[in-house]
A and B are shown apart, each in its own frame.
Chain A
Amino acid sequence: MSVEATTLAAFGVMIALMLIGIPVAVVMMAVGVGGGLLLYGPSFLQSAAAVVWSVLNDSLLTGIPLFVLLGELLLRSGMADRMYVALAAWLSRIPGGLLHTNIGCCALFAATSGSSVATAATVGTVALPALSARKYPIRESLGSLAAGGTLGILIPPSVNMIVYGSLTQNSIGKLFMAGVIPGLLLTFCFMGYIFAASLWRGERRQESVPPLADRLRLLIHLVPPLAIFGIIMGSIYLGIATATESAALGVVAALLLAWLSGRLSLALLRKCFVQSAKISGMVLLIIVSAFVLNLLVSLSGVAGHLTKWVTSFGLSSVEMLLLLIAFYLLLGMFMDAMSMLVATVPITYTLVTAMGVDPIWYGIFIILMCEMALISPPVGMNLFVVQGVRPDKGGIDDVAWGVLPYLVIMILFTCLLMVFPGLATWLPQTV
């Protein structure tokens, strides 16, 4: 069997094992170690062991537990809960009303937290009763929440970006920078769609807002998330801190804010510790396995073989990226975003960078693919989360239909990014 066929077969087996529900980390480690033993014998194990230690001793990845802990602190201390009221006071006058608040709140939440379950659960629980009381169409409401929840991994800080950066040895600071403009732009695209759809339906739904003095007073609830975001991105942009150090600064600031709000307690800290340890554990074990698999990929040179094979078809980089969009859309229907990222990036990264695609730009592309995976039916995670918080008893197809326009927007947005790569690559170059 040719190298290409063996690789594709191994990849197929790996995805199949994941789909029947064997733990993702176990599958990748098994394929990595199994392949390594077959090709290189027991000496592969020694190299694998060195990889395990070096990954778990890599201060770049220390950012993962720190950012997760930061998000937990902001969430559990209740700082994020109060944002909705404040944003609703400012945004709901735009045609489309409270739907804008959903997107805005998700985006702001995203800037401090990485958990889309927590984002959708918190924003959804506050928003849905208000939305249904004001008789907003249910599909639009659910769609805006599920789609808004995906912004979290594009707007930095983002654990997915750290994983991409460490797998491909790209600067995490630069990736964070690269996510800012696309993140904001996609947020505006979502809001623009709500605005346009609202006008097109001719319902011009606007909410009355409280007087200016009240609105100004409510702004205080936006200070904590914006301050944390400012500290993280500011310290990276000004070169004061690396991405990992900025996470540590964020944790200290979050502790301070929680203490100022009178919510800091041992019980709160303990809850944050348990949650962040569990989330970090599941991400880090997958990363360890991915790196062992990566070792096999680079030793055996399969990525190079595949690249030669694929380029022999004479595809341009644009055609390649369009193919990848289709590939990731398909994969994303069945796999969760993080598993999809670690299982595919070692191969696809080599492929597209060999064709001259910018590594940082491709990071943003991959994150967009992950976002789509979160909301593409039948198993996008955000669909289930939003379905789980809705107060009425409709079927999940409401969420799937509601989210469809956003999925189309994301695909178009990815194409826009292909036409104007500078949207992602400009800001990191200014550092």
Chain B
Amino acid sequence: MARIERILADLFGFVFLLLSFFVAVEAIARKLFNVSLQGADELGGYALAVGSTLSFTLAVIGRNHIRVDVLHELLPHRVQALLNWLSSVMLAGLAILIVTICLAVVNDSIAYKSTAPTPWATPLIWPQSIWYAGMIGFAVCAVGYAVRATLLFASGRIATLNDMFQPKSTKEELRDELADFAERNRASKGSAS
């Protein structure tokens, strides 16, 4: 899983770094030489479409999809488990819903040979097919986690289920931040000496 996470994150970063450089060059060229390459906006849209699907998947893996945890910790473990299971299954449901209904969008683009209303007139199916593949990836990942949660719930392994699927608490986030801060500090002391 760690490897998949890294590959997806690399892809995500690559998309947005590339976009940033393109936009920066475009903006400078526009301002200094009055030349517009155009399409920075359009490209930004496609970057978001592709990048977002990667980020949805990564947020499933990292348990980052926001859940309000004000009541959660007060509930008995069994109820927590039920809610954790339900959340996981419903998130998978959301992913499947998006994939199902968005098939129509892709099909329309194929049927009408739709192009973007821009100077580039990009055939929409190009970005959309990558986007749709990303959405399928998101759904597969969410379903995988939901199946795992269901198996744990059915076999009564409540402690493991709660451990793996509880809402990410501020405490956890903070622990990660503090660890990273300590590491940065070590690095800066290391480079200073």
Contacts and interface: CB of A to CB of B under 8 A. Distances in A.
Q: Do the two chains belong together in a single complex?
A: yes
Interface of A: 18-26, 29-30, 33, 45-46, 48-50, 52-53, 56-59, 61-62, 65-66, 69, 76, 78, 81, 117-118, 121-122, 125, 235, 240-242, 244-245, 247-249, 251-252, 255, 262-263, 269-274, 276-282, 284-286, 288-289, 334-336, 338-339, 378-379, 381, 384-385, 388-389
A285 B22 CA distance: 26
Would you list the 9 A-B pairs with minimal beta carbon distance, nearest first? Answer: A281-B59, A273-B13, A281-B55, A59-B44, A248-B23, A121-B177, A49-B101, A62-B44, A251-B20
B95 to A, nearest CB: 9
Contacts of A65: 12, 16, 48, 51-52, 55
B170 to A, nearest CB: 4
A29 B97 contact: yes
Find the residue from B42, B72, B94, B178 having the highest chain A CB count within 10 A.
Answer: B94
Find the residue from A20, A56, A59, A118 having the highest chain B CB count within 10 A.
Answer: A56
Find the residue from A61, A242, A245, A262 having the highest chain B CB count within 10 A.
Answer: A245
Nearest to A335: B68
B66 A339 contact: yes
Given A21-B83, A81-B184, A118-B177, A245 B23 contact: yes
21 contacts: A22-B67, A26-B90, A26-B91, A50-B105, A61-B48, A121-B178, A235-B27, A247-B20, A248-B24, A248-B44, A249-B20, A262-B191, A277-B12, A277-B55, A280-B51, A281-B56, A281-B59, A282-B66, A284-B55, A335-B68, A389-B174
B43 to A, nearest CB: 8
Contact of A23 (B9, B23, B49, B91): B91
Contact of B173 (A45, A53, A117): A117
B173 to A, nearest CB: 5
Nearest to B116: A57
B181 interface: yes
A49 B101 CA distance: 5
B68 A19 contact: yes
Contacts, number: 242
A24 B67 contact: yes
Interface string B128-167: 1001000000000000000000000000000000000001
A45 B97 CA distance: 9
A157 B58 CA distance: 24
A122 B181 CA distance: 7
A56 B62 contact: no
Nearest to A287: B52
Find the residue from A21, A23, A48, A279 having the highest chain B CB count within 10 A.
Answer: A21
B68 A282 contact: no
B187 A78 contact: yes
A277 B48 contact: no
Contacts of B180: 76, 271
A310 to B, nearest CB: 26
B59 A282 contact: yes
B interface residue count range (under 10 / 10 to 19 / 20 to 34 / 35 or more): 35 or more
Interface in B3-61: 5-6, 8-10, 12-13, 16-17, 19-24, 26-27, 31, 40-42, 44-49, 51-60
Give chain B's interface secondary structure class: helix
A139 B87 CA distance: 37
A142 B143 CA distance: 42
A368 B31 CA distance: 35
B173 A48 contact: no
Given A22-B87, A284-B56, A285-B56, A57 B48 contact: yes
B9 A19 contact: no
A185 to B, nearest CB: 29
Nearest to A50: B105
Contact of B8 (A52, A272, A277, A285): A277
Contacts of A289: 94
A385 B90 contact: no
B12 A263 contact: no
B42 A59 contact: yes
B80 to A, nearest CB: 8
B70 interface: yes
Contacts of A288: 98
